[in-house]
Structures are given as C-alpha cells and as structure tokens.
Amino acid sequence: MDIAIVIGIASGLVFILMAIIVAGGSLLMFWDPPSVMVTFGGCISALLVAFPLNEVLKFPTYFKAALFPQRFDLGELILTMVSFSEKARREGLLALEDDLDQLDDQFMKKGLQLVVDGTDPELVKNIMENEIDQMAARHDTHKAIFDDAAGFAPGFGMIGTLMGLVLMLVNLNDRSSVGPYLAVAIITTFYGAVAAYLVFTPLGRKLDQLTGNEVLQRSLVLMGVLSIQSGDNPRIVKDKLVSFLQPGERDAITQEIGE
C-alpha cells in the first residue's frame, strides 16, 4: 500500500476540519445533502457522458491501482537480465527457453520468447515498443478520468453556488432564508474544490507517475532483450542497463555483478 496517499488525504481532511473547529464553527455547518447531490452527483453524471460506462465503473479499480501500486525492483531486474546474457553467451539463445516458464514478468517472457524463436531484431523491437506504447495509452485513459473529475467537481460546485444564489434572491423578502441559501451556495463550491485538489488531481498525478515507472521498467527490459539477442558481453549488458538507475543505485549493482 502507498501509505503516503492515505496520510495525504486523511491529513488534508483533518487540517480542514480542525480549521473549522478552531475558527469557532461546527462541522454540521459544513454538511449539506443537497450540495453533495449537486457536486458529486453532477460530477458522476458528467463522467458518464464523457466516458464509456465500463470505464466509469472501473473508477474504484483505478483508485486501488494508485493505492496498491505495482513495485519494480530495477536492480533485481538487471541481475536477471545479466544472468540470461551470461547463459546465452555460454550455451546459446535456445538455452534460455528452459527458464521462460519461471518468469513472472510477462513482458520479459514475451521478449525472450521472440528472441528464442529467432525473430528479426527490428521486429522484436517494434513489437515490444508497441506493447509499451499501448500500455501507456491505456493508463493515460485511466488517468483522464481523474483529470476530468478534477475539472467537473469544481464546475458543478459553481453550478450549486448559482442555484443557491437564485434561491436566495427569489426568497430575498424572507430574511431568515437568506443565510441558509447563501451557505448552500458557498458549500457546493467548497465540496468541489476539496474533491478536486485533495483527491482527484493528486491521484491523477500519482497514476501518471506510476505509468512512468512502468514505462521505465519495460524500456529496461527491452534494452536487455535486444542486447542479449545481439550477443553483447554480459558486462556491456550491465553497463547499458545500469544507465536506467539513479547514480546512487548503480554502485550496488556493479559491486554485486562485478566489473
């Protein structure tokens, strides 16, 4: 679990609620069912217009993907690729087929299977790059739901504000109703802003970051597969792959593999 997401959203809500209390307000003052209906109901309705139903229904799944991200150990991945290159140099590319069933990484498995099958290097590169591009495109669609929700929520908050102002003006002669209607008008904007800037926009950024991490991981695999296919020395394979790591992480891999 990415505990930072939980801490970030929870602390943001706590700070907002504490500010209300410290300012002498009541939490019940900020609870208004009609405002919730306008802001979040309207946001969901707009998402249904903008995206296919099956995509909107997967919204919780995308939230879960951000909360429980897939972790990539690039150092371990480099060690695996170097070990494959060593075996390929000793026994030939066909010897790698014995190890493919043990691989959990389906992208790496597919790439090495293409190599073992004798596929042209350019075609291997094209197939794997297309896999990376399609994966990134799918993830961008998932992220777009959060980006659009971040725009729809404040928008419907403003719609709720306009509704509250209309109700207030219509009943302007009744002074006792002015305060409640004005409060409703402002609370809808409050709901929309909190949802957009504390939840939807940050989660969209998180998904974008996770996509970048997966693209990096797959690009490393692609480089390793092509290096193995070309028969590069394992030391050269290692030098190519450690370039994907942060400078501080490279020494540990070099020491474990050797110069």
31 assigned to some structural domain = no
**pTM for this predicted structure:** 0.76
**What's the number of domains the chain is made of?**
1
18-71 tens-digit pLDDT: 887 887 777 777 788 888 888 899 999 999 998 889 888 888 888 888 888 877
44 assigned to some structural domain = no
69-99 tens-digit pLDDT: 877 777 788 888 888 888 878 877 787 777 7
pLDDT category at 257 given cuts 50, 70, 90 is low
Distance (Å, whole) CA 254 – CA 68? 31
104-136 tens-digit pLDDT: 888 888 888 888 888 888 898 899 989 899 888
Structure confidence at residue 250 (pLDDT): 66
Structure confidence at residue 54 (pLDDT): 87
* Mean pLDDT across the chain: 83
Contact 84, 76 (CB under 8 A): no
45 assigned to some structural domain = no
If DSSP codes are grouped into helix, strand and coil, which group holds residue 219?
helix
DSSP state letter for 230: T
Which of 212, 151, 160, 153 is CA-nearest to residue 183?
160
105 assigned to some structural domain = yes
27 assigned to some structural domain = no
236 assigned to some structural domain = yes
Q: Which domain holds residue 68?
A: 51-157+195-259
Contact 75, 252 (CB under 8 A): yes
149 assigned to some structural domain = yes
pLDDT category at 196 given cuts 50, 70, 90 is very high
Residue identified by tokens 């297309």 is 130
41 assigned to some structural domain = no
